[in-house]
Structure 1
Amino acid sequence: MDVVASACAQLNEAYEKAVQEAPEGGEQASSLTSDALPADIVQAIAISNAKSIGEQPAILANLALSQQIFNQNLQQQNAVSHQQALNQIKLAVVAKYIAMIDSVGFGDEAAIEKMGAEIEKLVHQLERILEGKAGKSHAEQAN
């Protein structure tokens, strides 16, 4: 980096000196810009420019890859969040089932039938909730 900075400084000094020493004629002033520079400086600038141009596709590819990784990370975090919400719903349903089973006596047939109907009702409600969440998550991913 220091080599490029010193080369640029020398280039500016050489150009200013050449312009000040040149007569007012247009041809000589324009020819001094390339003749007054040492070949090493011209070569260093050319190599630096070629190197910058050569590295540009790799830099852009790395930026695209980092953006893709970032987006994938966000999608995975979103999936984990949805899974945690569904696990909480399942836990609440299991707790309700256990409470219903605990409250019913095993000798009472009517109570067992009622418990079966309640469990079936809860399963249908859970299916509707899960279908609604699945529909929302598909719509969010499409956007």
Structure 2
Amino acid sequence: MGYPTIDASNALWARAQGLIPSGTQTLAKGPGQWSDGVAPKYLCRGKGSRVWDVDGNDYVDLVMGVGPLSLGYAHPEVDAAIAAQLKDGITFSLMHPLEVEVAELVRDVVPGVESVRYSKTGADVTSAAIRVARAFTGKSKVLCCGYHGW
């Protein structure tokens, strides 16, 4: 068994050069993470733990969407909840009741949690953790290492 054909993936990558800085919007998803000429560069769909590239090859996604897909792709219950919320609108200019409801759920399920702060990215959370560590310890330097994801 040889390597899969990734011609369509490589063609998209060529189109991205000069159009998208570094060729990717997210360095963690960029082709620099994988073996050149062997791994696909673009995925177009997923179901459960499997993903398909733009060439039609299928794979088991061991990276799980760079972390947040513990239930897999296109999970029926998650998809239904998203579809229901889309009917009511998203990205409002004011807060939404789900912010309070989910914070209460996290507080009730995770031992020791007193308050909840939402964030859009791992980098935002890492910055916040460093600020909290500095405030708590009174020190300006924080030693850290490793990937800031989960």
Q: Give the TM-score, by structure 2 length.
A: 0.18
Bigger Rg, which one: 1
Which structure shows the higher helix fraction?
1
